[in-house]
């Protein structure tokens, strides 16, 4: 497994992915943790919102889950909107997913090389410090 860095390496994942879990989703339409997920939904992906503080609500046609462990369907991409220092708290849930996601995407401004190394070691590819929406748009998918 590898860290995907360039658009050509990212294209393959975005062309085959269908399901995206968004960790740290926001109800505020002005925040990237909302409008990136909205954009991906409108682009044809199924969005699974994750945010413990919004439990019981619905967003993007799906109930908001507290953790990744509550998902019962395969997830292709886990899109992380969490501060770099808070990523480790989600590692156990990611590694327990069955099947495991193909890719964990750390949004623009989010980088944690130790967290990424643990995912790569477990066979999960990683993108760090990139905007999912911008890359999808730039690839014209």
Q: What is the tens place of the pLDDT at every residue in 38-51? A: 999 999 999 999 99
- List domains and CATH numbers for the chain: 7-122 (3.40.50.720)
pLDDT at 2: 75
Confidence band of 33 (pLDDT split at 50, 70, 90):
very high
Q: Quote the longest CA-to-CA distance of the chain.
A: 38
Confidence band of 5 (pLDDT split at 50, 70, 90):
confident
Whole-prediction pTM = 0.95
Whether residue 4 contacts residue 116, with contact meaning beta carbons closer than 8 Å, is answered with no
Identify the burial level of 3 via C-beta atoms within 10 angstroms of its C-beta, where 0-12 means exposed, 13-18 middle and 19 or more buried. Answer: middle
């Amino acid at each position: 497994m590898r860290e995907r860095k360039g658009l050509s390496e990212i294209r393959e994942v975005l062309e085959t992915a269908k399901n995206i879990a968004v960790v740290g989703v926001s109800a505020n339409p002005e925040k990237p943790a909302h409008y990136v997920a909205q954009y991906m939904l409108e682009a044809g992906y199924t969005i699974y919102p994750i945010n413990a503080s919004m439990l019981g609500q619905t967003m993007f046609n799906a109930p908001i889950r507290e953790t990744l462990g509550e998902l019962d369907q395969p997830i292709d991409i886990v899109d992380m909107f969490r501060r770099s220092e808070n990523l480790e708290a989600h590692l156990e849930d990611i590694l327990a997913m069955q099947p495991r996601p193909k890719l964990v995407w750390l949004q623009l401004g989010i980088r944690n090389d130790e967290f990424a190394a643990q995912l790569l070691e477990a066979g999960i590819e990683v993108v760090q410090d990139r905007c999912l929406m911008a890359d999808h748009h730039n690839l014209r998918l």
